Chains A and B, each alone.
Chain A
Amino acid sequence: MKFGARLTILATVFLAMFGVVGIRLWFVQVAEGAQSAEIVEEQTWVQIRSEPARGDIFDRNGVMVVTSRFVPRLVVDRRFIDPGQKDALIQKLSGLLGVPAPDIEAGYEAAGLNGRFPVTQVSTDTAYRINEQLSALPGVSIEKLPQRVYLAGPTAAHVVGHLGLPDEADLEERPELDLNARIGKLGVERVYDELLQGTAGYSELRLNRQSEVLEESQPVNPIQGASLYLTIDLRLQEVVELALESGVFLANEVKDEDRANGQEVNHDAFRAAAVVLDVTNGEILALASVPDFDPSLFVGGVDAATFSALNDSKAFNNLVIAGLYPPASTFKAITYVAFQEENLPLPADLPQVNPADGLVHCNGTLRLPGFEEGSQQIFHDWYTGDKGWLNIHDAFEQSCNIFFWSIALGTWREYKLTDQESIIQSWARSLGFGERTGIDLTGEAGGIVPDRALFQEWKEFQLENPDAPARLEPSRLDLAEGPFLGGDLMNFAIGQGELTSTPLQVAQAYGMLVNGGHSFTPHVVSRAINRDSSVAYQNPSGLGEQVGLSPDVHSSLLSDMNRVVTSGTAAAAFRDFGSSIDRVGGKTGTGQTIANNDNHAWFVGAGPLDSPRWVVAVLIEEGGSGGRVAAPVARHIMQYLMGESPTPIVEGAAAD
């Protein structure tokens, strides 16, 4: 090949290579140029976020419960720091703040190349001192950190809730969350977190490669979160909390007394719940759960020991909505209503039952000859002695189990295996049992309403999973008519057995019964108002559908509830109520629990009976007798609600 030919080949190769460069240049500048131009413009700007203050929280009367203040905090922004200056800066800060240098360094590394991280909160004095030296401290700034102030301390802690850093579940649900910013973890702080949070402000700075500021945009100020108005009445809340704590104290006093008298006592009481709600719209006026906690602990991050101690005592559990208990005799109101509304039959073959006159002989024991083929069963009532022949109203007043057992027995015999079999359960469900109320708080439990279908489900599960904990005794699995028995319905009719409910469900059911049968959704927040006074949220509070409660039954229930406090199981506890005693009523309850646990003490009260406004539910876990321990607590609260002077919480009479 001649030299000239080789030269031509070389020229061609060079031309091709220049061509490739030219084409690539076209691609970089023309095809992708606009995108690059955008990135170039963006990368010179950095955004500095300023945290918004969380919204304030007020009670129903406008009393401030929670607010926010600003505290100075020292922040280091790595974007403004030349890597060469890092060590000197950390040493300097460590000297100024008294924070160990390795701690600052750890934060520095964790923040990442373009990160911004808080070093520590500083006093106002330190903040001023550092402010004067800022020019010598590149990347350092003092920012205003909004911080929660819980003006009411631990009062209403379970409604207010507390803050905390987002965990994995929070981040999965809301990926936009900042890892270092506190969010609501419990109570309305959590449920209404997005309304309370507010909108962050920011300013934008244009930097050169040396991180010097070239331009600054007009800063956008942060906007404080919406103000939340609770339905809680803070003064009532304080009354309820004090009463409930006194109730726990009283329960333990009574236990000491019983021990001294040689009676069996298993545990001290230390947990309790109380709720007051407005039956005309579902607003929660007070909600207390013992033990509680101080939300202020979480403001700067709670230490592990304190947290686990509180967590172990279940202080964060809101027993009003998360505690599941047998409603016990408080449930008799539901059986009472079903009996009258549905004309449920009483058994005709028992000597102590007179179905024609609707009377039952409450003599302490119910004997069932031939109830189950070839057997004779005896049911013992809670009292000893003979209360005579009682009608439904007397039975409610005296909390006579035999009467309510008889209702269940008659229903079972009449309707077993028909679609009417679960007629009492239907009433329970329509009054809210077995289902969460939908209150605007987290951690609510739903409870159980037992019936044939549920037992059948359990049976099937048990047969498929022989190793799982069994809910039904093995003997029930072989019964021809299914695992649900007449005895289960009898237990159910007096609020025992597999039936469980939260104190809120009991309060809700009574609320619907005393307001004339109208449903409602319990709630703790009525509205949220933005900083610009616009409405961010309004609870559609009000009454829903009627459950089919007739006026006659309604008024008879109200007067029978009054009889409970004037001459019935709570009469002793309400002795000193005051002149308005004729306008209030209630029902005691004593929940039997598993072996070796003491009974749960219940009382549900309502008033004013001429124009029902509120119900009160009190539960003292393992507190003992409802009439003896829970009724005095409720009475104290009801005295406050009726404008009476609340009298001391002292022992009532032991009654179911």
Chain B
Amino acid sequence: MKKVFLQPMTVRIWHWVNALSFFVLVATGVQIRYRDIPNLATFKTSVDLHNFFGFLLIADFLLWFAFYVFTGKIRVYVPLNPKKFIVGALRQMRYYGYGMMIGEKDPHHATPEEKFNPLQQSAYFMVMLILMPLQVVSGILLWDIRMFAGWIAMLGGLRVVDIVHVVAFFLLTAFLFVHVYLTTLGRTPLAHIKAMFTGYEEVEENE
């Protein structure tokens, strides 16, 4: 077994702050939107927490974006070679749907340069470079609808911005379940999670 340094400190800090913010934002978002279902906090507390962790998430997102852009690591999210991406994605889908069931080895070998398999890459690309910016922008617009009235009108009105925010919320929440599950699909169930604390992931020597 050998240890590979996959998660730099900045990424690890970003990840756990992001995870905490995500959790609070989902919980308070549900509490705000579905006032009549759970009643864990008052509406005002929920809104205040949502606003606070929303801005924390935005700051964290900017940290992540700056780190990945300035280090050039942003390319791990972007499928630069479409042919390689498609082939790799099909192979990875086969693995998750069949190969894994019959005990085949994971076709993707994580390295600092290719941290994600093609499916992870496309999923995180969607999440980090499309859904998150949409969620951040729509969230900021909804935070002060008077200040951003012009922008909101340009985008089709308050309810349209709300729909964007809510649909992104549903997709991100759905992704959360998948994401947490996928973290258990490492060499051991806790291998990926441990790596996000230590930065190092244990991989087999022959990998």
- Physical interaction between A and B: no
Residues in chain B within 8 A of chain A (CB atoms):
none
| Chain A residues at the B interface, C-beta cutoff of 8 Å | none
